[in-house]
Structure formats: C-alpha cells, structure tokens
C-alpha cells in the first residue's frame, strides 16, 4: 500500500500590476510569521472582576481572574488568555438549534462555568475590553503561555482551523470596511469548561452561518468534535440573511496532470478567477487534509506566496497587492502528490476524488481544460469531452475539455474493458469494468452473467426515464466506471460505480443503485444544492429517483413499497447497525450535522427521509383514477428549468412546490423538512346502507405529533364485488370523524394510507 502523503510544490506565476510594487503594503509572509509566533504581552496584563463581554448570542462573564493579551501585529491586538473563574452563556435563537443544544447538553440554554479561556479576534473585542480594564506590567505565568501554545494547535488539530491565516485575511484586507461587510472581523473562543469538556464558539461574518458552537469528545468517541449548533447572526432573522459570502469566482481550470502506477501525481494548474470584493489579498483554498506544502527558503515579496501548516485542510494564497473586484486574475500552481493506491487485485482507487486540485468553496462551478499523461497500458477516463489522444513512448496523452460548469472534476484509471451501448435519440453510454477481476472473483463468489450489459442497460434506460421525467440531459455521453469501493459517486458525465454492482444482480437494489448515481446528473449537477442544509435536494432526490426508476422498469410495486416500508422503519425507529436514532436525531434539514457522536443519521434522514418527502409530494399530486405522474414530473421539470446550472435552496424548492400545488405549502415543509414528528394513525370505520348507496364513516386518532399537525391521507374503499374507490381525507387534529362520499357497492374493507402515501405508522383500531 502506498503511503497517503501528499507533497505539494507550489510555483506561482502572476502578472503583477504597478500596484504590486507598492512598498507601503505589509509583507504578507512577514505578518504571518509574526502571527504564528505571537507571545503574550507583559505590558498588557489585567486583573478582572465581574466583566461582561457579549458576542452575538454568547455572553462571557469574567467573574474573577487575570487576562493576558497577545502582542499586537500591525498595531492590532488579536487575542488573549484568561485564567480564573467565568461563566459562558449561550442561547440559540431557533427551535431547531435549541433542540440540538439539548441533544448534546441536556439543556436548551447553556450556562457553562470555565476556568480557562483562549480568544482570537480581529473584531472590536480588544477595544471593548480595554475600555473597562487597567493594565499593569507583569510577568506572564507559565500556565498562560501553555494555554496560548496549546490552543492554537488544538484549533488546527481538532477543528482544522488555522487561526493565524484567518487573522491574516483581515489584517491584510485593504478595502472599505463597512457595517455588515465580510471584513468586520472574526471572533473565536476555546473554552475549558469545569467538566473538562472543551467548547469552541465562533462568530465569523465570512461564514454563511456566522455563529457556531462545537464541543470536543472523549478520546474513544467516533468523532473528535461535534458541531452542536450553527446558525445566522441575530439580525439576519429580522432583516434577512444573505447567503452569498464568496470573495472570488473560480471560472476556469487549465491543468496538466501526470499519473504513474506507483501512485504519484504531478500537475500544474492555472486557475482563472474573478475577485468579487475590492481589497482582498488573502484567498483560502482547500485540498485533501494530507496535503503538505514545500516552502521555498526565500520567497519574493513581489510574488504570491502560499501558506499552510501540516495537517491543515488546504492553504492560503497571499497576493502582494489588493485585488480589484471584477478584474480577472490568473494563478499558476504546480503540485505533486501520492494520490492513487491499489487493492489486492491491482485495481486503482483515488484517495481523494474531489480534493486532488486546489478548490475554492465547495459548490462553485468552473469549466475545465485537462491534459493527462498516463501509462499507455491502462485505460483512462475523465470528466469532459476527449478532444485528442496520442502516445509518446510508454505514455498515453489525452486532452479533455469540460465546458459544462461543474462543481467537481475527477477521473479513473485501470485495466478496463470497454462496453458501449447506444440507442437512437439517447446519449451514448460507455462502461469501463475489469473483466479479469470478476472472472477471478467468480471462482469464490457468486457472479452474474453479462453484468456489463446489465449495468449499461440500467444506465441508458434510467437516462431515458429521467429525461422524460426531469428534462433533457445536456451531454452526448455518460461514462460508467468501476471502482473498488462499495459506494458510488457521480460527476458530470462520469459515474464511479461500486465493483459490487458489476459482480451480481440483486433485483431492485442494483437497478435503484445505478439509477441513483445517474439521477445525480440532475440532482446535484444540473441543479446543485446551496448549503449543507439543502443536501437532501441532491441525495434524497437521487435516492427516490433510483427507486422510482426500479419500480417503473421492473413493474414491481411489491419491491417498491417494500423499500418505502424499510425507509419508514429506519426513520421511525432508527437503524442499529448504522448507529442511527432515526427522526429523533433532528430534522433532515440539518444535513451533514446529523452524523455526530450521538448517532449517525445522515443516510437515514437525508437520503431516506428526503426520498420519502418526495414520495409524499408525488402521491399528493397523483391522479388516483389514472395513477398518472404527469403533475409530479411537471413540477420536477420546472425545478430543473428554473435552477439549471444554479444551486437551489430548500426554500427555492418550496416555491416551485407551491407554484404547482397552487397554495401555501409552508405547513408541509415545517412538518417534514424542518420538523421531526412522525404521526401514528389509529383508524376505525363503520358502514351502512342508504337507499341504493353505502355510507362509510371513518374515525381517525392522530398520535405522537403536535395538535395542529395535518396531512391529507388517501383512503381506499375496497368492494366485496370487484373494484375499489380512492378518496383523500384531511387529518388535521387529534381526532377526526369523516363521512366519505356514498359508494355504489357493499364495502369489503378500508385501506387507510395505501401506497405508503404518508410517512406514518398505521394501526386499525376497534
């Protein structure tokens, strides 16, 4: 196995304008050196008693103790250490976040006593405190020095945050600083609580959700820390919260990449980007956490420099001059990394499929021009359209252009066989799989026949189904490649499919899995998700799309409703093997935060509950006389058309839903997306003959939900003779009694909530 160590050698080429030669600008590398080596300042020590500092929804009460400030940099003090007695108070502004706080701390309001406090800031904290303090010159005690050193290391190790580079962003900012701008300064607190658990409080105007609270976990926990709460600053809930916090737009990547069979990658990357803010000099990029940057012994202050620490999740580029908004810039980066590894059978797998090149943000879209140099004995596939292919010596060169703006770019390499499937009017599907691997595996494990054809057929047929249901696919091809993992992953025009789906066929499960990844061409790529709160618009939609395709292609309602029943069981009761608590873990809107030390519920709620939400909308729009999905498809096509090439939020999708339902659907989203309640319906009914008709009286008791919880539930009246009728009834209070419209024949039975139409438990009462 190759070592998972990345070595990056960054060479930066920049056309430096006249402003770059401004000698009055601070040297970014020197300022960072000062920040990195900051010590406590003996001339700024203060004894404190009953001092209060408020930072948005957090309050720090310094009851008694001593404050040691850090040395100033560029005339600004950016941190302090406190030793003594204090109380940290924290009150989340929303019901969802109060629920989360209680899940982790057993209280909706946090009052934590602390004995040590480490603060870093570039906002007005220093001025707020010094107006109430009297400094004395004194010796800095050893414990305070240790806190200063340990806290900086802890921020990087536990949270992956380099506080010095974050401070550098603000200290070097040369634009206008206005109230509400991104450059008003950040605030970070490392709090040692009396129970020895550490809390981390962050207020950062550059984050979409400016306020966050973390808590570290015991050494044996599955995660090092939990994000307990994350939300917008107080004023946003009154005035609206702008989601756009990006400072640059990464327009285009031009890369040359060389891959070797020993796992080594060497690459040059020219990034063309447009600054969106005047005056920035520091741009953060992220890459795989194993990245190590080799620094030159001498760096020219007139050129861009890169800064990163070992273990950091990325690096920063420091420009020698302030960037101007809307003025195109180019950045050239050369790197090398050990990015490929192999399994026992010699199949390659990519250590990081999405972070092998410098990234700004996660959801921003770029175009790509990629030239790969690979050993010619291996087949190679990339995102984009292959423009040219040639060989030189033992290497294969391929040139790819990807003009569809995409969030990610990836590739695959291996001893692949190729199978192509083409039907008139549809994109070409090209499958890459390792036939030799599966022939060897068939000696030990069960193997299906013609698996390459089955995979290709499902990819092609699901493409056709989704084009009819969601709208046109934008490319003329779709690559499906085998990877030695148990999961799948989708890129624009390129699928990574698990080796398991090439090995054996398990009806419904494999069709659904393959179609799930195909569906990401619409849900995730054509229509992206805005923040982690909206990931269900990608994963939940793809999960349901896969099951819907399997239902349609196999004509197997029993399997389809069995899948829904399985999802319901996981959502209501959790999933022990996954470590899932189900719905009580929180609303599906919490996205990735649903995985924590308390439970692992991202899959159960984002995938399965997200899919169930879409299923409920489908059934609410369905014509039960014809079982037509035309209205449902029209809604999803409208969603794709409206947000094509954009990132949509949950509220964006709600607007589309309301347009097609013709009514306010706030109640639906509050219950199913932002809520955790799952109803239980206990129903009974009676029938009586009236003239030549039969009357049905239905009684329903609604349990386990709030009194105002409501849902429209289908009811099937099955006749003793052949046939049935379907009605819809509103259950909108704890107990309802409904008289159904008279029916023409004697009733055999009532089926309440057929077709798993509502995510609910159902019991027939007496």
**What are the pLDDT digits (tens) for 94-106?**
999 999 999 999 9
pLDDT of 10 strictly over 50? no
C-beta separation of 81 from 41 below 8 A: no
The pLDDT score that the predictor gives to residue 241 is: 58
pLDDT band (50, 70, 90) for residue 332: confident
Between CA 318 and CA 33 the distance in angstroms is: 13
pLDDT band (50, 70, 90) for residue 222: low
Query: Rounded to two decimals, what is the model's pTM?
Result: 0.94
Specify the long-range contacts of residues 520-523, CB closer than 8 Å, at least 24 apart.
Answer: 520/490, 521/463, 521/466, 521/473, 521/478, 521/490, 521/492, 521/493, 522/466, 522/470, 522/471, 522/640
- High-pLDDT (> 70) share of the chain, %: 93
pLDDT band (50, 70, 90) for residue 290: low
Looking at every residue in the chain, the average pLDDT score rounds to 91
Is 571 exposed, middle or buried (CB count within 10 Å of its CB: 0-12, 13-18, 19+)?
buried
pLDDT band (50, 70, 90) for residue 536: very high
Side-chain half-sphere CA neighbours of 440 within 13 A? 7
Between CA 652 and CA 534 the distance in angstroms is: 10
* Enclosing H/E stretch for 458: helix 451-470
The pLDDT score that the predictor gives to residue 270 is: 94
- Of 44-48, 217-221, 618-622, which range is least confident? 217-221
Beta-bridge partners for 264: 338
Mean pLDDT of 119-142: 91
- Residue 299 or 749, more confident: 749
Between CA 608 and CA 118 the distance in angstroms is: 41
pLDDT digits (tens, 9 = 90+) for 295-323: 443 445 568 988 888 778 888 999 999 99
pLDDT digits (tens, 9 = 90+) for 62-94: 999 999 999 999 999 999 999 999 999 999 999
- Of 415-419, 439-443, 505-509, 738-742, which range is least confident? 439-443
Is 512 exposed, middle or buried (CB count within 10 Å of its CB: 0-12, 13-18, 19+)?
buried
Mean pLDDT of 446-460: 91
Domain at 680-764: CATH code: 2.60.40.1840
Beta-bridge partners for 65: 48, 84
Mean pLDDT of 225-245: 81
pLDDT band (50, 70, 90) for residue 2: very low
- How do beta strands 646-648 and 527-529 pair? parallel
Domain at 534-672: CATH code: 1.10.390.10
Between CA 59 and CA 614 the distance in angstroms is: 41
The runs of H, that is alpha helices, within 526-609 are 536-554, 557-573
- Residue 348 or 519, more confident: 519
pLDDT of 543 strictly over 80? yes
Mean pLDDT of 534-543: 98
pLDDT of 575 strictly over 60? yes
Contacts of 484 (CB under 8 A, 6+ apart): 343, 345, 347, 348, 349, 499
Mean pLDDT of 574-579: 92
Nearest alpha carbon to residue 171 among 284, 307, 78, 41: 78
- How many C-beta atoms lie closer than 10 Å to residue 387's C-beta? 12
Mean pLDDT of 684-688: 96
pLDDT digits (tens, 9 = 90+) for 137-161: 778 889 999 999 999 989 988 788 8
pLDDT digits (tens, 9 = 90+) for 424-447: 999 999 999 999 889 888 888 778
When mean pLDDT is compared over 114-118, 296-300, 355-359, the highest value belongs to 114-118
Mean pLDDT of 255-280: 94
The pLDDT score that the predictor gives to residue 12 is: 36
Nearest alpha carbon to residue 493 among 480, 506, 505, 502: 480
- Of 306-310, 353-357, 527-531, which range is least confident? 306-310
Domain boundaries, the chain: 13-239, 534-672, 680-764
């Amino acid at each position: 196995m190759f070592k998972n160590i990345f070595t990056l050698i960054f060479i930066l080429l920049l056309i430096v304008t006249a402003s770059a030669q401004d000698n009055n600008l601070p040297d970014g590398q020197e300022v960072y050196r000062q920040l990195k080596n900051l010590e406590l300042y003996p001339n700024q020590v203060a004894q404190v008693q009953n001092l209060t500092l408020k930072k948005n929804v957090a309050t720090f009460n310094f009851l008694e103790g001593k404050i040691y400030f850090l040395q100033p940099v560029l005339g600004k003090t950016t941190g302090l250490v406190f030793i003594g007695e204090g109380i940290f108070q924290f009150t989340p502004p929303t019901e969802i976040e109060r629920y989360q706080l209680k899940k982790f701390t057993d209280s909706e309001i946090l009052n934590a006593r602390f004995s040590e406090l480490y603060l870093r800031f570039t906002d007005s904290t220093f001025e707020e405190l010094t107006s109430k303090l009297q400094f004395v010159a004194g010796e800095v005690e050893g414990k305070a020095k240790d806190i200063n050193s340990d806290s900086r290391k802890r921020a990087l190790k536990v949270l992956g945050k380099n506080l010095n580079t974050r401070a550098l962003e603000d200290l070097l900012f040369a634009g206008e600083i206005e109230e509400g701008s991104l450059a008003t300064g950040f605030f970070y607190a490392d709090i040692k609580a009396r129970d020895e658990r550490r809390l981390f409080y962050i207020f950062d105007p550059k984050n979409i959700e400016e306020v966050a609270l973390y808590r570290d976990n015991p050494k044996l926990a599955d995660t090092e820390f939990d994000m307990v709460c994350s939300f917008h600053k107080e004023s946003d809930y009154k005035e609206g919260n702008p989601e756009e916090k990006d400072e640059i737009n990464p327009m285009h990547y031009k890369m040359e990449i060389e891959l070797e069979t020993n796992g080594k990658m060497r690459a040059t990357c020219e990034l063309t980007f447009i600054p969106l803010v005047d005056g920035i000099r520091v741009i953060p990029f992220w890459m795989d956490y194993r990245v190590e940057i080799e620094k030159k012994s001498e760096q020219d202050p007139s050129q861009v420099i890169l800064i990163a620490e070992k273990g950091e999740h990325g690096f920063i580029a420091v420009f020698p001059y302030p960037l101007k908004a809307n003025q195109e810039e180019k950045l050239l980066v050369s790197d090398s990394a050990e990015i490929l590894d192999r399994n026992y059978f010699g199949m390659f797998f990519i250590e990081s499929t999405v972070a092998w090149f410098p990234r700004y943000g996660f959801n921003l879209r770029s175009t790509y021009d990629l030239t790969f140099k690979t050993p010619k004995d291996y087949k190679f596939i990339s995102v984009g359209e292959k423009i040219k292919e040639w060989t030189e010596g033992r290497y294969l060169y391929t040139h790819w252009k990807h003009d569809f703006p995409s969030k990610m770019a990836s590739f695959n390499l291996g001893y692949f066989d190729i199978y192509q499937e083409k039907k008139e009017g549809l994109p070409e599907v090209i499958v890459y799989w390792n036939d030799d691997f599966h022939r060897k595996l068939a000696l030990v494990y069960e193997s299906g026949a013609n698996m390459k054809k089955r995979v290709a057929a499902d990819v092609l047929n699901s493409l056709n189904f989704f084009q009819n249901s969601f709208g046109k696919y934008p490319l003329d091809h779709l690559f499906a490649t085998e990877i030695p993992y148990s999961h799948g992953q989708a890129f624009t025009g390129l699928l990574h499919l698990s080796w398991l789906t090439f090995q054996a066929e398990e009806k419904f499960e494999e069709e659904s899995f393959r179609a799930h990844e195909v569906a990401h061409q619409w849900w995730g790529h054509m229509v992206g998700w805005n923040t982690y709160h909206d990931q269900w618009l990608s994963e939940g939609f793809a999960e349901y799309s896969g099951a819907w395709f399997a239902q349609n292609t196999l004509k197997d309602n029993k399997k389809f409703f069995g899948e829904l029943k399985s999802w319901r069981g996981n959502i209501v009761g959790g999933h022990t093997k996954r470590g899932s608590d189900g719905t009580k873990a929180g609303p599906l809107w919490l996205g990735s935060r649903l995985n924590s030390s308390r439970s692992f519920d991202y899959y159960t709620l984002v995938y399965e509950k997200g899919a169930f939400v879409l299923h409920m909308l489908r059934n609410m729009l369905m014509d039960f006389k014809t079982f037509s999905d035309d209205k449902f498809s029209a809604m999803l096509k409208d969603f794709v058309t409206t947000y094509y090439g954009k990132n949509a939020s949950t509220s964006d999708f709600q607007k589309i839903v309301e347009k097609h339902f013709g009514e306010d659907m706030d109640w639906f989203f509050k219950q199913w997306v932002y809520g955790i309640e799952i109803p239980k319906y206990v129903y009974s009914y009676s029938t009586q003959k009236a003239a030549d008709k039969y009357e049905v009286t239905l009684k329903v008791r609604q349990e386990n939900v709030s009194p105002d919880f409501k849902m429209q539930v289908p009811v099937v009246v099955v006749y003793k003779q052949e046939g049935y009728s379907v009605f819809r009834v509103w259950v909108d209070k704890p107990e309802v009694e409904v008289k159904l419209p008279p029916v023409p024949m004697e009733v055999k039975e009532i089926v309440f909530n057929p077709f798993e139409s509502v995510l609910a438990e159902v019991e027939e009462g007496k």
